[in-house]
Each structure stands twice: as C-alpha cells, then as structure tokens.
Amino acid sequence: MDSSYLNRITLSPPSGERKDSYPFNIPAIGNLKSLRFDSKVTFLVGENGSGKSTLLEAIAIALGFNPEGGSKNFSFSTEDTCSELHEYLKVSKGYIRPKDGYFLRAESFYNVATNIDAMDREGSFGAPVIGSYGGTSLHCQSHGESFFSLLMNRFFGSGIYILDEPEAALSPARQLSAISRIHQLVEQSSQFIIATHSPLLLAYPHSTIYSFSDTGISRVDYEDTEHFQITKYFMNNRERMLRELLS
C-alpha cells in the first residue's frame, strides 16, 4: 500500500517588502520552490536557525494539525508564536487518506500533556484520552519517558507523523528503540517527516535527507551530513579535539 500521504509542498512566497521579512528572509525558505516527499521517512537537517523547524511547523499546520502539537483533535493554544508560512504553502496529498496523524513539537510537548490532563478532568471525550498514551499521565513520567510513551502507544499506524526533534529527551538507547518503532510503523503504512539533529535517527535506511543551509535546501546522503561527519571525527579523534576545544 502506498504510504505517501504527503507527496509534495509548493511555496508561493509574498511579493514586495514581505518577502524580506521572517520567515521568508531565511535563505533555505526564501529559495524554496517545491519539495518532494517520496520516501516513507524524510529527515530535515541543518544548523540552528536554518529554517527546518519553521518549515516543519508550516507543513503540520497546512495539514490541519494544531500549531503546538498533538493530533487534529487538539485545538488548544497557550501562545500564538507560529509564523505565517503555512498560508503560502500548497500541499499535494496522495490518493489514500491517513487513518492517524500526529505533530510532535519537543518544545511544546509539556503543553500537550497539560491539555490531555485537562480534557480527562472535564471528560471531554468520554473515555480517558490518556488511555491512548499508555494510561499514565505524561506529567507523571520523565520527559524522555513521556516522549517514548507517545511513540509506543499513541501512534497507531496508517498515519502521517510529523516530529520536531523527537530525540530531544531520548537517551541514545531510546533513540535506537525509536528507530525500531518507526520501522514498525512504516511497515504499517505510515509516513514520517522528522526534523532532527540526531546522527542515530538519521541512519534509518532508505530515507530522504534534506539539508538546510544558507544556499537553500539540498538532498544529501547520510555520510555527507555534518551530523555524521562531526560525530565520526569526534569519536575517532576525541582527545585531539578536546585539546583543541579546551585550549
């Protein structure tokens, strides 16, 4: 079964002075015309401030997700900080509609957990919402445990999952477990779009990696990512690098 629920995005940026304002003044976004998603797992990588999370957020909003994260059933808002980029994006979807979906933002997952507890106190959905997350309040787990609980329990398969730095709270061992879980879901007709800094997650085979830089967005191989190269060089030359860094 084809699991490409999102096939392509096309950007039609504003004209005039608006094109020189945020987020269109970010080189990777300002130079973007279209981007294909022809793999079951697509990674967005780049330096801090390169625009990958900004674009990921816009994609999520354009697909109908809450800007702060969650499924399409979430509509809470604690602070309106999203950019207007989604207003200029056109999303081209596959002919099969996903049965599930989720937008994970590492920076606002606390707000999602708070909203889940609030909905369950109010009985908004009848059966406790937290039941889909493993049954234990996410606030009663460590940051990493709550992330992993989301991945293991809430993602049902046949869905599109948009993840912004999911490794932020995960140990290296849990990141490896996350790769296994992602693969299970891919085998269940799921599609992932992930912004990450993790060289471990990036190793997922047969994925597409888009690198964001001052010259735009380009497709790269895993071994050509800065994440892989710096990590490998550090592990092979740890003492030398530390001497240079600490001198």
In a 13 Å sphere around the CA of 226, the CA atoms on its Cβ side amount to: 11
Q: Please, what is the average pLDDT of the chain?
A: 88
Task: Check residue 105 and give its pLDDT.
Answer: 83
How is residue 200 written in tokens? 């471990």
Percent of the chain with pLDDT over 70: 88
Strand order in the sheet with 216-220: 100-105, 159-164, 191-195, 41-46, 208-213, 216-220
- Residue 1: pLDDT over 60: no
Task: Check residue 65 and give its pLDDT.
Answer: 92
DSSP-based three-state secondary structure for 242: helix
Residues in the chain: 247
CB neighbours of residue 175 within 10 Å = 18
How far is Cα of residue 219 from the mean position of the Cα atoms in its chain?
17
pTM: 0.90
112 versus 153: the higher-pLDDT residue is 153
Q: pLDDT-based confidence at 219, cuts 50/70/90?
A: very high
pLDDT in tens, 63-97: 999 888 887 877 665 566 678 999 999 999 999 99
**Average pLDDT of the segment spanning 3-28:** 86
